[in-house]
């Protein structure tokens, strides 16, 4: 009979004082349970490490311990917690030969466990060996083998230089990205390294500066994405790309210090967007975007407080700060114009969005980009000017409160006050500094028919009055129905007159 199976078989027959068994796992891994005072109980994970695990695995007839586990990794046991603060040298033949305390301050959420090596055929990793876990061949959580067991690396100070050392140690060309925040899942066991600092030229991670004492948790486990081959060229410093959108629009990402990162939207405007679009080969920027309009990026935020004149050939030629006070929900974006076929709008041009041909959110073109109008003081006179500028003969209503959805980008005008006789919206009294949000975007519903005559026939006065006082988007649908019915009646009268 196999010696391991024989020993396990004997233990099943006779529970000797100090006997060991594994529970909650399999033949080679599980929660450590020890037989004391006539009953099975567990071991607390206080001070539990690879030396203690080695004694357990050797006691059970295995070659050695691969890992020590805490935190009830194999489930919580029941009954007594027999041992606490176990301290083994690793050479003891049984766990009771180690130092320990019989009085514990533990709960079963701290039950200790082990993973044992079944045979000696599996070579022991070298000290400082690296592996990736929780991902795939080229990406994952960084784990390092130290003092006989695998553990993780804390993401404090973790960056592209440290990731490059890991990827090179694993035989890859370079690192594409460094990750923190347990991007590939939380590891278990020890956190071996903290505050790792590499130049990027080291041949192994242990050659970098690091702390062995950490103030981390596994939700801070570091990770990497490595480049498999050298077929993919390394981007030039300062290269830009668009992500999270399409060919012409997206989140702005810039390549700096060997890794892609994002740009904060502080001070981000149309001039900065124009530089990005020009650098990418587009004609110009149609809009600048903030607030992670194209989704939140990951990794570094390389630039903050970017200030461009709009004439620079690349984003790095603009003024910027490398130290940011931003989060990824502030990632900047752009919408670029693909060709020059599309003419640049005139200053003060207006258009409708979020509705249809005759109704929508009012947008006005100012300072090289489209923006919205705040609904403060917005009324039927203001809407009449917009409808006239768009070529409609009449106005139905002036809805506010982002009735046609919230816009994005700048809010160009606030406190608009038109008499109703202006030829364009910019001719109306307004202020350019707003205290608004896009939930206050103004809208219009325009009429495709001429306003009622000054001497309407009986019944028409009520209709005309309703058209003027209808001020909500809810009324707009009914307005359309009335106009359609009115036009149909007028056509019918014309047809009858013609036949007469």
Nearest to 246 by CA among 334, 161, 308, 325: 334
The DSSP H or E segment spanning 117 is strand 113-117
Is the backbone of residue 307 left (phi > 0), alpha (psi -120 to 50) or beta? Answer: beta
How many CB atoms sit inside 10 A of residue 7's CB? 14
How many CB atoms sit inside 10 A of residue 65's CB? 26
The answer to the question of residue 273 being in a domain is yes
- pLDDT confidence bin for 477, thresholds 50/70/90: very low
Q: Quote the number of domains for the chain.
A: 4
Do the bridges between strand 284-289 and strand 350-353 make them parallel or antiparallel, or are there none, so unpaired? unpaired
pLDDT over threshold 80, residue 229? no
The pLDDT score that the predictor gives to residue 248 is 87
Lowest-pLDDT range of 188-202, 223-237, 435-449, 455-469: 455-469
**Do 246 and 326 share a structural domain?**
yes
The DSSP H or E segment spanning 386 is helix 380-389
pLDDT over threshold 70, residue 382? yes
Nearest to 127 by CA among 207, 29, 195, 197: 207
**Do 490 and 366 share a structural domain?**
yes
Share of the chain above pLDDT 90, in %: 56
The CATH number given to whatever domain includes residue 363 is: 3.10.250.10
Q: What is the pLDDT of residues 20-45, one digit of tens each?
A: 999 998 888 899 999 999 899 999 99
pLDDT over threshold 60, residue 352? yes
Share of the chain above pLDDT 70, in %: 84
**Do 271 and 326 share a structural domain?**
yes
**Do 457 and 368 share a structural domain?**
yes
**What residues make up the domain containing 66?**
3-117
**Do 286 and 196 share a structural domain?**
no
pLDDT over threshold 70, residue 492? no
- pLDDT confidence bin for 374, thresholds 50/70/90: very high
pLDDT over threshold 80, residue 427? yes
The residue ranking higher by pLDDT, 268 or 173, is 268
Nearest to 300 by CA among 161, 172, 168: 161
Residues 298-309 have a mean pLDDT of 93
The answer to the question of residue 233 being in a domain is no
Give me the long-range contacts of 340-343 (CB less than 8 A, separation at least 24): 340/283
pLDDT over threshold 60, residue 367? yes
**Do 47 and 144 share a structural domain?**
no
Lowest-pLDDT range of 17-31, 289-303, 480-494: 480-494
Residues 326-335 have a mean pLDDT of 94
- pLDDT confidence bin for 484, thresholds 50/70/90: very low
**Do 493 and 356 share a structural domain?**
yes
The DSSP secondary structure of 25-69, one letter per residue, reads: S-SSEEEEEEEETTEEEEEB-TT--HHHHHHHHHHTT-SEEEEEE
**Do 333 and 349 share a structural domain?**
no
The pLDDT score that the predictor gives to residue 65 is 87
Q: Of the candidates 337, 368, 386, which is a domain's last residue?
A: 337
Nearest to 48 by CA among 15, 84, 95, 72: 84
**Do 324 and 185 share a structural domain?**
no
- How far apart (Å, rounded) are the C-alpha atoms in residues 250 and 242? 5
- How far apart (Å, rounded) are the C-alpha atoms in residues 91 and 488? 100
The answer to the question of residue 415 being in a domain is yes
Q: Of the candidates 117, 150, 174, which is a domain's last residue?
A: 117
pLDDT over threshold 60, residue 60? yes
How many CB atoms sit inside 10 A of residue 183's CB? 21
- pLDDT confidence bin for 485, thresholds 50/70/90: very low
> For residues 205 and 193, is the Cβ–Cβ distance under 8 A?
yes
The pLDDT score that the predictor gives to residue 232 is 60
- How far apart (Å, rounded) are the C-alpha atoms in residues 18 and 41? 10
- How far apart (Å, rounded) are the C-alpha atoms in residues 361 and 441? 7
Lowest-pLDDT range of 11-20, 218-227, 318-327: 11-20
Residues 285-308 have a mean pLDDT of 92
The residue ranking higher by pLDDT, 25 or 164, is 164
Nearest to 345 by CA among 328, 363, 322: 363
The answer to the question of residue 234 being in a domain is no
Q: What is the pLDDT of residues 260-286, one digit of tens each?
A: 999 999 999 999 999 999 999 998 898
Residues 119-142 have a mean pLDDT of 83
């Amino acid at each position: 009979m196999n010696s391991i199976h024989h020993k396990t078989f004997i233990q099943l027959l006779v529970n000797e004082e100090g006997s060991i068994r594994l529970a909650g796992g399999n033949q080679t891994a599980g929660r450590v349970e020890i037989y004391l005072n006539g009953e099975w109980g567990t071991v607390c994970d206080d001070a539990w490490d690879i030396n203690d695990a080695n004694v357990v695995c050797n006691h059970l007839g295995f070659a050695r311990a691969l890992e020590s586990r805490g935190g009830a990794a194999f489930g919580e046991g029941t009954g007594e917690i027999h041992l606490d603060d176990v301290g083994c040298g690793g050479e003891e033949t049984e766990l009771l030969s180690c130092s320990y305390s019989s009085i514990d301050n533990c709960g079963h959420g701290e039950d200790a466990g082990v993973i044992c090596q079944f045979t000696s055929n599996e070579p022991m990793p070298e000290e400082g060996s690296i592996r990736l876990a929780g991902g795939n061949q080229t990406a994952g959580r960084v784990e390092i083998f130290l003092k006989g067991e695998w553990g993780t690396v804390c993401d404090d100070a973790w960056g592209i230089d440290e990731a490059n050392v890991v990827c090179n140690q694993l035989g890859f060309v370079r690192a594409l990205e460094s990750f923190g925040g347990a991007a590939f899942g939380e590891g278990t066991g020890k956190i071996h390294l903290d505050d790792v600092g590499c130049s990027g030229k080291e041949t192994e991670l242990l050659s970098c500066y690091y702390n062995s004492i950490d103030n981390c948790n596994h939700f801070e486990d570091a990770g990497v994405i490595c480049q498999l081959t050298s077929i993919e060229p390394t981007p030039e410093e300062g290269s830009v790309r668009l992500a999270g959108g399409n060919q012409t629009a997206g989140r702005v990402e810039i390549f700096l210090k060997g890794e892609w990162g994002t740009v904060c939207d502080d001070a981000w405007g149309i001039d900065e967007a124009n530089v990005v679009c020009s650098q990418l080969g587009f004609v110009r920027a149609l809009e600048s975007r903030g607030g992670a309009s194209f989704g939140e990026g990951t990794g570094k935020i390389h630039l903050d407080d970017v200030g461009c004149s709009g004439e620079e050939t690349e984003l790095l030629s603009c003024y910027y700060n490398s130290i940011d006070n931003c989060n990824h929900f502030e990632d900047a974006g752009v919408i670029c114009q693909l060709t020059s076929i599309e003419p640049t709008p005139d200053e003060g041009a207006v258009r409708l969005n979020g509705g249809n041909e005759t109704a929508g959110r009012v947008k006005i073109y100012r300072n090289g980009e489209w923006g919205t109008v705040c609904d403060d003081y917005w009324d039927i006179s203001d809407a009449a000017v917009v409808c006239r500028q768009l070529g409609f003969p009449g106005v139905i209503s002036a809805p506010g409160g982002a009735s046609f959805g919230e816009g994005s980008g700048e809010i160009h005008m606030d406190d608009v006050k038109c008499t109703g006789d202006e030829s364009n919206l910019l001719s109306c009294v307004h202020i350019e500094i707003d205290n608004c949000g896009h939930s206050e975007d103004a809208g219009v519903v325009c009429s495709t028919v001429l306003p009622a005559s000054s001497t309407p026939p009986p019944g028409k006065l009520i209709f005309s009055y309703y058209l003027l006082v209808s001020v909500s988007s809810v009324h707009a649908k009914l307005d359309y129905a009335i106009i359609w019915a009115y036009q149909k009646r007028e056509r019918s009268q014309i047809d009858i007159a013609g036949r007469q």
